[in-house]
Amino acid sequence: MKVSLKWLKDYVDLVAPAQEIARLLTSSGTEVGAIEYVGGRDWSDIYVGQITNLAPHPNADRLQLVTVDYGKKELTVVAGAFNIKVGDRVPLALPGARVIDTHGPEPREVVLKASKLRGVMSEGMLCSARELGISDDHGGILVLDPEARVGAGLGEVLGDIVFDLEVTPNRPDLLSMIGVAREIAALTGQELRVPVVTLEDGPTAVKDLIDIEIADPDLCHRYSATVIEGVRVGPSPGWMQERLIAAGMRPINNIVDVTNYVMLEWGQPLHGFDYDKIGGKKIVVRRAREGEEIETLDGVVRKLTSDMLVIADARHPVAIAGVMGGADSEVSDATTNVLLESANFDRVVNRRASRALRLPSEASRRFEKGLPEELTMPAALRATQLIHQLAGGAVARGVADAYPVKPPPVEIKLTTREVQRLLGVSYSVEEIERILKPLGFVTRAQGGDIDVVVPMHRGDVTLPADLVEEVARTVGYDAIPSTMLDGRLPVPSENLELRWQEVVRDVLVGCGFTEIIAYSLISRERMRKLVPSEEAGEKLLSLADPILTAINTRISVLGQQPLLVVNPLTSDMECLRTTTLVSMLETIGRNLRFMDKDVNLFEICRVYLPRGEDLPEERRIITAGMGQYRSGGEWGEKREVSFFDLKAAAEAILQRMGIATFSFVPVAHPTFHAGRTAAIVFGVDMPRLAREGVRAIAPDKVVGILGEINPDVRASFDLDERVYVLAMDFDSLMQAAVWTREYRPLPKFPPVEQDIAVVSSVDIPAELVKATISRAGGELVKSVDLFDVYQGPGIPEGKRSIAYHIVYQAPDRTLTDEEVSKVQKHIEDVLEKELRATLRR
Amino acid sequence: MIDRITELREQALAELRALGRVEEIEPWRIKYLGKKGAVTSILRQLGALPPDERRAVGQVANETKTLLEAQLAQKENELKEAARAQAMERERIDVTLPGRPLALGQVHPTTRVLREILDAFVIMGFQIVEGPEVEWDYYNFEALNIPKDHPARDMWDTFYVSPDGRPGEMLLRTHTSPNQVRVMEKTRPPVRVVVPGKCYRYEAIDPSHESMFYQVEGLAIGTNITFADMKGTLSAFARMLFGGERKVRFRCDYFPFVEPGVDMSIDCYVCKGAGCRLCGNTGWLEIMGAGMVHPKELERVGYDPAVYTGFAFGLGPERIAMLKYGIDDIRLFYSNDLRFLQQFR
Ligand SMILES: [Zn+2]
């Protein structure tokens, strides 16, 4: 809402500087978003001139010669506009004045010079609102208030301060000058002045001219109308145009301008009909018939639906209630009799209609917030008076007023105790009354209680808490003390999910990964890029491999319908992601464009797995990714990473979460490299897996996938280097996580250390070899650490040598050589027997 | 005899002083103090002297031995120190060369600020809970006094979602406020929670608008919680995050689910309140919305508004981060450019 302070002075004395008034409004809930100084532009050398003569230009039909008196002398000016007449007061710019040149592609400020136009010297220029930099209106020369003093500087006449108020949706009363004035009056201790209306009754009675019927009283709560006969439609006076322009509205003609002016003044939208176009002299307010059509003011024929409300005459709609008038009944230059509508429409029906028709307007902006029924009358009278004053004619006696149900005023009992209870500071009955009365509340004190009657313009106030806000915002929130909370605290309960999430975050940061947060919205097209071919997609969905199925159910879900956005912003953000891999690969790709190493990223976020009509499952996923290179030990050196670098990060997470038993099982997932990918499974160790195969894996124990990205998938993300990605189901990990740790005493007796190299088939997983050594070694084997893997000359084809460093130790004695060789012999036998592995000598 | 000893001592000391390397020490020691050394042999000859002379000579000889031993130890130390210093000098490096690359990770700036925000409230007795990002219209709007077709809905441009793309009751939460209702439905007062999480708005993306962002919701309900307590708690928070010298402003604002409603700002740290580009010439930087929980909301979850009062607040960590670190484009947060992320180590 744009509020001209110059206009506002009609209703309240502004006793404080504009800055201070802005501060008071802002602090009490209506933010002054901007303070605009109209005429803050340099208007020196622009004066109020009066037109004394108009003559045709000798050489050009489109121009005329205007004689202007600006007090000091008369000048002749060449003008290209014809909206002026002798006697009009207009802005006259003299050579040296700064005006806006609107002829170029971009408006720019120029210094005016006297110049010849088609052979005639122009000694100055008459300006439009646009040339003055006031508004975009270039409809013609700005005609000023007839009261403007001839010879006055333009700044004196037009200079104004305009507040741009950010009115909150609960305060439609502040979408009016009177409402804002009331607020300022209350905040500054001044009186509100409301315009007094006196009407000269004409010969006809309005009830003989129009009959009003509200067919749907649930949607139209009141309809008030007046008729003004014999008006002359023409431009409205300069003062009114200036005010409308200051408020951001465009002057049209005196009738429409009055309806807009009074809407701005009172907050009540009004509509003027050409009375003679109202068939049957009857107004029916009713629901539109399905498919009924109306051509609106903007010349568009609109199809209506039965949940819209129309104003109809005896036959057809003449307006969409509170949204837009019809073209047929529009007030035009030929109109002589005006029917003025001041009605109250249901806010919901108005909001729906203006949205459905995409016709937001100043009127529907007010209606949709809910206006008081009582407002129609003062606005109708005020507008009738102004039309009569500006367009002449005779006012028909009375107001045609259909008002089915007058709502009772809202009464609230407020106690000083309630004010104290909510604010933490007490105010006396007198203080509270002193605050509420200027805002329009009627109060009656009874001991510590105050009976408050809410004024019609404050439909937002219904509860004691609302009145408490009135008190608080008027004294100013800064005047209320600050205290710390006391009283009982809730029973503490730790948020384990967040704690574990932070643990994982710290592990990954410690491993050199940088956290990313990517958009939850994605597109099916983008997710499809994770599946290189249709066959691969089918395989993924075939349920043949229980591990794959588990991954595709919980960890990176592909090929399933995601939740769709009903109103997407862009087509690549049309659904909620069911996999985190797309964002990871895309983000790695973007960063690889300017970093040749150390693109190590992680994200802890949710995927959204649909559950039919219910809210989706929001499962937390840990995702980590690595580009092909990492910093080496030396400056500038880069080292190629492998599957095992990322595996270390996965192991670090599992260890930090206290999960002891887990395995990495080869898996063929279409997004990943067929030979370099593992499912992370817990609760099952390698020997059992070797014995029982994948049957040993319960689907709910599959907690992640880790591997190199399939080269074809990589290509579809424009990644030209190897990329490794890990995705883990955080929620499952958390279920298994163990916070406590168990202490084991430090060894008291020296260890015996030994290295062995085991030659076995390449098909036997290293993990199984290690597990076999541990098991065969029994309690004396403290640790088995791999230190070398070798394949090549000296080792038979199809086999490899894996070297382990074994530490033997007993808690109660120093081991003898015999003991150790006995154990070692046993290890050798078991390796031989179970894995057909031999020691390399 | 004593003269001989004196002469010997002077000679030994002179030779010792002339030594320059650690290796020369041992030969000197053998020459004078060894088993067959000069001093040792004099001591050995003492027995042959007459008793009175023996005492005097013995004393001088022993003193000489002690002196030489002490001088030897000192010299040895000096030489060793010099040798060590020399050795280290040979190993001198240029300490201004850069550190060897170590892949450093870091958390996202949003996480960094979220941790700060949550810590501040945890210190004040609040517990952290979370809620769903995909919400029912009921929790996001209706239960917060924002019925369908309410003009206040315009304050939140909403993404609706559904299994088939047709509009329904499911949406992406536009704020974390639904958790006020969810928390109150599940518990009885006293309540003190903070709820962090992602929120979404149907909003064209530009330097100051994102379609996805985080929010932290807060809620405190009890039998004796006042507006003054809200001011105190939120001011304490602002000072924890932005420094003790910050001024805090509370002004009236409208949110349908609180009454009275509050907008909290801190004084602009760039212009100190005088007005500048950052604060839009107001001198103030808005950091959160808050208010006393609306009685209707309390009633809806079965809390008697005549008994319980409380306050709620909501703030955006990105905005806090932008203010704290001077970030001028919100789009940087979720485009995940390492050149941006790595500035927050
Ligand atoms: Zn500033």
Whether residues A170 and A153 fall in one domain:
no
Give me the CATH number covering residue A324: 3.50.40.10
Q: Which of B116, B252, B282 to mutate to test the interface with A (most CBs of A within 10 A)?
A: B252
Domain C-terminal end among A376, A402, A428: A402
Catalytic, out of B193, B216, B312, B321: B312
DSSP state string for B17-60: HH--SGGGHHHHHHHHHSTTSHHHHHHHHGGGS-HHHHHHHHHH
Q: Which residues pair with A46 in a beta bridge?
A: A93
Whether B336 sits inside 8 A of A484 (CB atoms) is: no
Ligand 1 midpoint to CA A642 (Å): 51
Q: Where are the alpha helices (DSSP H) in A490-598?
A: 496-510, 524-528, 534-541, 546-554, 581-592
> How many domains are contained in chain A?
6
Torsion angles phi and psi, residue A15, rounded to 5: -90, -10
Strands A781-790 and A838-839: unpaired
A487 assigned to some structural domain? no
Neighbours of ion ligand 1 (CB under 5 A): B 268, 270-271, 276, 278-279
Contacts of B104 in chain A (CB under 8 A): 512
Kindly state the average pLDDT of the residues B182-188. Answer: 95
Contacts of A595 in chain B (CB under 8 A): 338
Query: Which sequence spans correspond to the domains of chain B?
Result: 2-90, 109-341
Q: Give the model's pLDDT for residue A493.
A: 84
In this prediction, residue B49 has a pLDDT band, given cuts at 50, 70 and 90, of confident
Give me the CATH number covering residue A75: 2.40.50.140
Whether A631 sits inside 8 A of B211 (CB atoms) is: no
Whether B252 sits inside 8 A of A28 (CB atoms) is: yes
Using the 8-state DSSP alphabet, how is residue A72 labeled?
S
End-to-end CA distance of chain A: 91
Task: Write out pLDDT tens, residues A753-797.
Answer: 999 999 999 999 999 999 999 999 999 999 999 999 999 999 999
Give me the CATH number covering residue A455: 3.30.56.10
- B244 has a chain A CB within 8 A of its CB: no
Task: Write out pLDDT tens, residues A635-677.
Answer: 888 899 999 999 999 999 999 999 988 899 999 999 999 999 9
Ranking A31-35, A324-328, B271-275 by mean pLDDT, the lowest is B271-275
Whether A351 sits inside 8 A of B149 (CB atoms) is: yes
In this prediction, residue A503 has a pLDDT band, given cuts at 50, 70 and 90, of very high
Q: Is the ipTM of this complex over 0.90?
A: no
Domain C-terminal end among A377, A402, A427: A402
Contacts of B136 in chain A (CB under 8 A): 615
- Known catalytic residue at B321: no
Q: Give the model's pLDDT for residue B216.
A: 97
Whether residues A33 and A62 fall in one domain:
no
Whether residues A658 and A706 fall in one domain:
yes
Whether residues A558 and A700 fall in one domain:
yes
A484 assigned to some structural domain? no
Whether B163 sits inside 8 A of A567 (CB atoms) is: no
Kindly state the average pLDDT of the residues A678-690. Answer: 87
In this prediction, residue B36 has a pLDDT band, given cuts at 50, 70 and 90, of confident
Whether B260 sits inside 8 A of A465 (CB atoms) is: yes
- A479 has a chain B CB within 8 A of its CB: no
DSSP state string for A87-146: T-EEEEEPTT-EEEE-SSSS-EEEE---EEETTEEE-SEE-BTTTTTS-S--SSB-PPPT
Query: Computed from CA positions of residues A554, A556, A558, A560, in that sequence, does the dihedral angle turn out positive or negative?
Result: positive
Ranking A44-58, A488-502, A523-537, B31-45 by mean pLDDT, the lowest is B31-45
Whether residues A783 and A801 fall in one domain:
yes
DSSP state string for B235-249: HHHHHHHH-TT--EE
A277 assigned to some structural domain? yes
CATH superfamily label, B109-341? Bira Bifunctional Protein; Domain 2 (3.30.930.10)
Domain C-terminal end among A402, A423, A438: A402
Whether residues A299 and A350 fall in one domain:
yes
> For chain A, what percent of residues have pLDDT higher than 70?
99
CB burial string A566-577: b at 16+ within 10 A, e below: bebbeeebbbbb
Q: Give the model's pLDDT for residue B264.
A: 95
Does residue A148 surpass a pLDDT of 90? no
Whether A485 sits inside 8 A of B202 (CB atoms) is: no
Whether A520 sits inside 8 A of B152 (CB atoms) is: no
- Known catalytic residue at B258: yes
- Average pLDDT of chain A is 92
Nearest to A670 by CA among A629, A624, A705: A705
Cα nearest neighbour of A460 on chain B: B256
Ranking A804-808, B45-49, B175-179 by mean pLDDT, the lowest is B45-49
Kindly state the average pLDDT of the residues A46-75. Answer: 90
As to burial, measured by CB atoms within 10 angstroms (0-12 exposed, 13-18 middle, 19+ buried), residue B171 is buried
Nearest to A91 by CA among A34, A27, A134: A134
Q: Give the model's pLDDT for residue A154.
A: 83
Query: Measured between alpha carbons, how far is A561 from B149 in angstroms, rounded to an integer?
Result: 31
Does residue A40 surpass a pLDDT of 70? no
Q: CB–CB of A671/A711 below 8 Å?
A: no
Out of A422, A482, A485, whose CB is closest to B235?
Answer: A482
Ligand 1 midpoint to CA B286 (Å): 11
Ranking A195-199, A434-438, A514-518, B260-264 by mean pLDDT, the lowest is A195-199
Whether residues A466 and A454 fall in one domain:
yes
Does residue A137 surpass a pLDDT of 70? no
Using the 8-state DSSP alphabet, how is residue A542 labeled?
S
A483 assigned to some structural domain? no
Q: Give the model's pLDDT for residue A456.
A: 94
| Residues 6+ away with beta carbon under 8 Å from A54 | A64, A65, A66, A67, A84, A85, A86
Contacts of A590 in chain B (CB under 8 A): 335-337
Residues 25-44 of B with CB under 8 A from A: none
Whether residues A341 and A216 fall in one domain:
yes
Query: Measured between alpha carbons, how far is A781 from A216 in angstroms, rounded to an integer?
Result: 90
Ligand 1 midpoint to CA B267 (Å): 8
Ligand 1 midpoint to CA B270 (Å): 5
Residues 541-580 of A with CB under 8 A from B: 561, 563-569, 573, 576
In this prediction, residue A536 has a pLDDT band, given cuts at 50, 70 and 90, of confident
Q: CB–CB of B344/B109 below 8 Å?
A: yes
Does residue A41 surpass a pLDDT of 70? no
Q: CB–CB of A29/B262 below 8 Å?
A: no
Query: Measured between alpha carbons, how far is A335 from A277 in angstroms, rounded to an integer?
Result: 9
Q: State the residue range of the domain holding A80.
A: 46-158
Whether residues A592 and A691 fall in one domain:
yes
Residue B196: is the preceding peptide bond cis (ω within 30°)?
no
Residue B260: is the preceding peptide bond cis (ω within 30°)?
yes
A490 assigned to some structural domain? no
Residues 150-169 of A with CB under 8 A from B: 168-169
Task: Say whether pTM exceeds 0.80.
Answer: yes
> For chain A, what percent of residues have pLDDT higher than 90?
75
Whether residues A169 and A151 fall in one domain:
no
